[in-house]
Amino acid sequence: MSASLPYRQRQILAWTLSGYTPSEIAQQLELTPEAVRASLKKARRTLAEYIRQGEEE
């Protein structure tokens, strides 16, 4: 399921699920916290759509 996400979104999602904050992730990946939150939001939307499509089948 997460393989359908771009690498950066998968990476940020994995770090988030491991308990890291957007600020901590941003520091490690040399991004802004806003960029991390935007990537996480896109990843969540993509995964939600994937789940919705699976429910329709």
Would you state the pLDDT for residue 1? Answer: 58
- What's the one-letter identity of residue 22? P
Domain residues for 44? 2-56
Please state the pTM of the whole predicted model.
0.84
Would you state the pLDDT for residue 18? Answer: 98
Would you state the pLDDT for residue 53? Answer: 86
Would you state the pLDDT for residue 31? Answer: 98
Residue identified by tokens 């941003």 is 26
Structure tokens at 41: 């939001």
Structure tokens at 6: 């771009």
Overall number of domains in the chain: 1
Query: Can you give 8-30 as a three-state secondary structure string?
Result: HHHHHHHHHHCCCCHHHHHHHHC
Instruction: Encode pLDDT of 1-56 as tens digits.
Output: 566 899 999 999 999 999 999 999 999 999 999 999 999 999 999 999 988 888 77
Would you state the pLDDT for residue 32? Answer: 98
Q: CATH number for the domain including 23?
A: 1.10.10
